[in-house]
Amino acid sequence: MHPTDSELEILNILWANGPNNVRFINEKLNQKREVGYTTTLKIMQLMFEKGLITRDDSNKTHIYKSNIKEGKTKQSLLQNFVQNTFNGSMKALVVEALGEGSSSKEELDEIKRFIKSIQEKEQ
Amino acid sequence: MHPTDSELEILNILWANGPNNVRFINEKLNQKREVGYTTTLKIMQLMFEKGLITRDDSNKTHIYKSNIKEGKTKQSLLQNFVQNTFNGSMKALVVEALGEGSSSKEELDEIKRFIKSIQEKEQ
DNA sequence: TTTTATCTACGAAATCATTCGTATTTAATA
DNA sequence: TATTAAATACGAATGATTTCGTAGATAAAA
């Protein structure tokens, strides 16, 4: 089950900050863009119904928690994106990713260093 | 302007096969999944209105042609995906892409060879 | 020329994501 | 206790995407 963009935004906040209430999430979201409180609440309620998140409702203020794994989720989203956009070829994606414009020079260097570290590890 | 998933499917066919009519696109789509002819037609008409594709309507059967560049489009989609999913870090994406499960061993090797070729070219 | 096949145009329904207003409940404060 | 503040629940509107049926136009075939 794939989260939508809005749901992913919320999941990212939960993954980075751990379980939290709606107000916290909403404030984090509002650091990026304007969102009404009840909008965030509604989306999180729907996410709860979908099973994307769980909640502790033993207190007035409910505490929400991600119910799906960050790594698995992102890997699945990536898989899906590669399928749709690059006909399933991860290489085509990497070619585009390492091509001009996509990343800063610093990040490119960092990526190359990472690749190198894999290669060394495996030999 | 970002194409939707369905629109991207159609664009991919146009990019790979050049200008074509609705029937051709629809048949290609039906090799993957069942889609009605008028569904494909409608989507392409909307794509035309959005300016994603152009058409030659001098004959009864209209010939449609992509109006956006494959490379630019995919780069932009990738940029967007990286922003939403990996907080803008292309490295985080590559880490996930080269991680286990995402690609076959063969493809991984291919990617590594590609990376190597870049590194050699730049030094 | 009449019939048949093919294509476009168009409208409308179904689904989904997002948004927010209002009502209600609960807790904290005066 | 009475008031205020904060939280949840819920319904409904909006807009976008996808789907397809039907009607009408055009060309090809009989």
Q: What is the pLDDT of residue A36?
A: 97
* Domain formed by B5-66, architecture: Orthogonal Bundle (1.10)
The answer to whether some atom of strand C lies closer than 7 Å to the beta carbon of A29 is: no
Q: What is the mean pLDDT of chain B?
A: 91
Residue A94: list chain B partners with CB under 8 A: 94, 97, 111, 114-115
**Segments of A3-108 assigned E as strands:** 53-56, 63-66
* A48 contact partners, CB below 8 Å, separation of at least 6: A54, A55, A64
Phi, psi of A20 (to 5 degrees): -155, 170
Q: Where are the domains of chain A?
A: 5-66, 71-122
Phi, psi of A99 (to 5 degrees): -70, 175
Q: How big is chain A by its Cα radius of gyration, in Å?
A: 18
**Of B13, B84, B53, B32, the residue nearest A6 (C-alpha):** B84
Q: So what's the pLDDT on residue B106?
A: 80
In percent, the amount of chain A with pLDDT more than 90 equals: 71
Q: What is the pLDDT of residue B101?
A: 64
Question: What tokens does A116 get?
Answer: 């190198």
Output Rg (C-alpha) for chain B, integer angstroms. Answer: 18
The token pair at B106 is: 């063969």
Indicate if the pLDDT at residue A122 is higher than 70: no
| Residue with nearest Cα to nucleotide C21 C1' | A38
Query: Which has the closest alpha carbon to A7: A79, A77, A63?
Result: A77
Task: Give the three-state DSSP class for A55.
Answer: strand
Find the mean pLDDT for residues A34-53.
98
pLDDT score at B51: 97
Q: Decide if pLDDT at B112 tops 80.
A: no
pLDDT in tens, A64-106: 999 999 999 999 999 999 999 999 998 899 888 877 666 777 8
**Pairing of β A63-66 and β B53-56:** unpaired
Strand D contact at CB of residue A94, distance < 7 A: no
Q: Which residues contact A13 (CB under 8 A, 6 or more apart)?
A: A20, A24, A25, A28, A29
Q: Would you state the pLDDT for residue A123?
A: 59
pLDDT, tens digit (0-9, with 9 covering 90-100), for B11-45: 999 999 999 999 999 999 999 999 999 999 999 99
**Strand C neighbours among B 25-54, CB < 7 A:** 37-38, 41-42, 45
Q: Which residue of B has its CA nearest to A106?
A: B91
Q: Is the pLDDT of residue A5 over 70?
A: yes
| Residue A56 pLDDT class (50, 70, 90 cuts) | very high
Distance CA A3, CA B80 (A): 16
Closest to A75 (Cβ–Cβ): which among B5, B82, B96?
B96
**Partner residues linked to A54 by β-bridges:** A65
